[in-house]
Amino acid sequence: MNIREKTLNFIGQKKEVRSADIAAFLDVSRQYVSRLLKIMVNAGEVIKAGSTRNARYALPQFADTLGIARIKQRLINKNLKEHEALENFLAAFPAYRVAPEHIQSILRYAFSEMLNNAIEHSQSDTIEIEMIDTGKSISFIVNDQGVGVFRNVMKKRGLKSEFEAMQDILKGKTTTAPQAHSGEGIFFTSKAADRFVLESFNRKMIVDNLIHDIFFEEYKPSKNGTRVIFSIAKNTERHLINVFKKFQSSPEENAFDRTEVHVRLFTMGTVYVSRSQARRILTGLEKFKSVILDFDRVPSVGQAFADEVFRVFKIKYPKIIITPVHMNKAVTFMIGRVEKM
């Protein structure tokens, strides 16, 4: 039996130990035990609560004894399998284990998708994962030091800016590796959360489903790589199957063929939506059967915009249904004018 196996057996017998207990049991120095425990914590074999000399350790199955409200782990991104890392991590978190099945399902799906993205797309040597119990909600964080999600999408799709990459990601079916991925992960994860934050370098995208709004922000200092922050209330009634169903035009087909676009996010500070902006909005929408165009807080649109969307695009893709919502009188008038032509 090697040192790690002896340590695991000892911790399992005691249920909860401190580093001094392990040092005495193994008859080694505290420094040696500190290095050993760091390796075992990073590997997910042991759970740590507290810090420095007051830190306590337990096996994942006995994490409840530590009263853990926050766990963190650094993963080496080499031959990393997200399902194995994820299951060990979630099993060690008390708040997840006692959560209702529909919340467990959402967390498992969202965490898996975001961790998989970091593993396969970030090119980061390490990935930090974290889960937090705030009392009223459960949050997780996936953080890497890689190429950055917005810059990666911008480069691979030949876009002009990270801002355009953020716009496209929100449509769904946006991926830098179409042969291997459908591009659904970020889209549905953002819809399953109460609050979803995607940060990369000096850009931040926030999807707040509690107030039904989306924000694009610039911030400093710049964040190298990508950080995902996902939060959901412990008493939410949201079910993952309903999140998926909302974006299916036909329940019988069980396909992601419906999306929604917030026109306001494409105006880039202007109050007049033009033909060029219409083309940006329409990019990629040919992949869907049904599109909701949300005109909330859009004061007006130009005739060229309305013509591009409701005449030119419809002629090219007559089977795609475009439904405008939340229009004021000015927008309603312009769209109606074009549709009568």
Mean pLDDT per 10-residue run, the chain (341 residues)?
A: 90 91 93 90 79 80 74 89 84 86 96 94 93 90 95 91 91 67 83 96 93 89 90 95 90 84 82 83 93 93 93 95 95 90 69
Map residue 165 onto helix, strand or coil.
Answer: helix
Q: Are residues 257 and 334 in the same domain?
A: yes
Q: Are residues 180 and 272 in the same domain?
A: no
Q: Residue 33: what pLDDT?
A: 93
C-alpha span between 46 and 55 (Å, rounded)? 12
Q: Are residues 153 and 185 in the same domain?
A: yes
Query: Where does a domain end: 246, 261, 281?
Result: 246
Q: Which two tokens stand for residue 16?
A: 């909860």
pTM comes to: 0.80
Residues with Cβ within 8 Å of residue 12, at least 6 apart in sequence: 59, 62
Q: Which two tokens stand for residue 327?
A: 């229009």
C-alpha span between 294 and 261 (Å, rounded)? 6
> For residue 293, what are the β-bridge partners?
261, 324
Which of 124, 121, 34, 109 shows the shortest CA–CA distance to 74?
124
Cα radius of gyration (the chain):
24
Q: Are residues 160 and 228 in the same domain?
A: yes
Q: Are residues 242 and 257 in the same domain?
A: no
For residue 181, with 0-12 CB atoms within 10 Å meaning exposed, 13-18 middle and 19 or more buried, which class applies?
Answer: middle
Containing structural domain, residue 34: 1-60
Q: Which two tokens stand for residue 276?
A: 């060029």
> For residue 204, what are the β-bridge partners?
199, 217
Secondary structure (DSSP) of 90-140: HHT-HHHHTS-HHHHHHHHHHHHHHHHHHHHHS--SEEEEEEEE-SSEEEE
Q: Are residues 176 and 302 in the same domain?
A: no
CATH number of the domain enclosing 9: 1.10.10.10
Q: Are residues 164 and 236 in the same domain?
A: yes
Which of 234, 46, 193 shows the shortest CA–CA distance to 111?
193
Degrees, nearest 5: CA angle 128-132-134: 160
Which strands make up the sheet holding 70-76, listed edge to edge? Answer: 70-76, 126-133, 137-144, 213-233, 195-208
Number of independent structural domains in the chain: 3
Q: Are residues 231 and 264 in the same domain?
A: no
Map residue 25 onto helix, strand or coil.
Answer: helix
CATH number of the domain enclosing 295: 3.30.750
